[in-house]
Chain A
Amino acid sequence: DAGVIQSPRHEVTEMGQEVTLRCKPISGHDYLFWYRQTMMRGLELLIYFNNNVPIDDSGMPEDRFSAKMPNASFSTLKIQPSEPRDSAVYFCASSPRRVVWDRAYGYTFGSGTRLTVV
């Protein structure tokens, strides 16, 4: 399995522009998570999906952020309009429904998208 695949790896954009981050979870995983990592705040959960349905979006910072999961193999995180304070590394992670002992709920992180908003 190729693991969790995120694109792009790096994104540099100007303030005010729309940014779309993409994630392909591991096949068969029922849960998908979007995290944001910054030096100041560490890793923060933004939103997670179960079977393509958003379950908890309480971590989404503002209405400028939105996430979708149109099918089991694809999710997007969109920021519109982007601001410099959105600069961070955005991670996607997926997990199978069944907890596997000693496998941390099967959490597998993607390699992340480093977003820079100038």
Chain B
Amino acid sequence: EDKVVQSPLSLVVHEGDTVTLNCSYEVTNFRSLLWYKQEKKAPTFLFMLTSSGIEKKSGRLSSILDKKELFSILNITATQTGDSAVYLCASGSARQLTFGSGTQLTVLP
């Protein structure tokens, strides 16, 4: 059975802190690993990773994939209260994604 595990389940930090979110995966048909941010409504796309060791960056967010260790991390630097959300990791193929249970990040002012 395909499995995606995220840690920690929840995290509380103060504005300006740097956080690292973890995602490990075991899927039978790996094509990519994706990160989503979910606030109160629908998940919104952050990154798609397909190759090991290549960092993707978008502003204060960055992510990297290790296909040997079946692992990805999402880094957020200089956190802001607007970063508070559930961060979801998903892995699999284009038509069969398995999602992790998410990391609830709370950024306090």
Q: In the complex, how many residues of chain A place their beta carbon closer than 8 angstroms to a beta carbon of chain B?
A: 24
Do B94 and A105 touch (CB < 8 A)?
yes
- CA–CA, A36 to B47, complex, Å? 22
Do B96 and A112 touch (CB < 8 A)?
no
Q: How many A-B residue pairs have CB under 8 A?
A: 46
Do B99 and A42 touch (CB < 8 A)?
yes
Write the residues of chain A forming the contact surface with B, with a CB cutoff of 8 angstroms: 4, 31, 41-45, 48, 50, 55-56, 91, 95, 99, 101-105, 107, 109-112
Q: Which of B6-43 contact A (CB under 8 A)?
A: 34, 41-43
Q: By DSSP majority rule, is chain B's interface helix, strand, loop, or mixed? A: strand
Q: Which of B22-75 contact A (CB under 8 A)?
A: 34, 41-45, 47-48, 56
Check if B88 is an interface residue, CB within 8 A of chain A.
Answer: yes
Q: Besides A102-B56, A103-B48, 14 other CB < 8 A contacts? A: A31-B95, A43-B88, A43-B99, A45-B97, A45-B98, A50-B95, A56-B95, A102-B47, A102-B48, A103-B45, A107-B34, A107-B45, A109-B42, A112-B41
